[in-house]
Amino acid sequence: MSTFKNEYGVDEEKVLQDAIDTFGLEKQLIVTIEELSELQNAISKYLRYNKSDEYVGDILEGLVDAEIMIKQIKKMFKMDEFYNTIQRVKIRSLQQFIEKERENGNAEKRKSY
């Protein structure tokens, strides 16, 4: 178990484990679904309402909540190392896809938000 405390004096790994131990796997999976749905809703509103900055905060909050739940899932299923490996492979695949799209002239050239 981690003993690292963040700048607020909180051991984040312990809090994540405490949430799993307190609420259980099934409840935390349900909460994960809910948090992902809230993120989806925030993104949808951002797009529906002409990319209004009013919804950027909702997207940020949704991302943070979803990420906290995803961290719990990785911990519940003991998949941190495997997750990181798969993530690197998928990012490399994305890189290759982007390169192919650019070569074929299918990529839009846009600035980041």
Helix 12-23 vs helix 25-48: crossing angle, to nearest 10? 110
Residue 43 CA to residue 41 CA, distance in Å, equals 5
pLDDT under 50 in the chain at which residues?
Answer: 1
The pLDDT tens digits for 79-109 are 988 999 999 999 999 999 999 999 998 877 6
- pTM value > 0.95: no
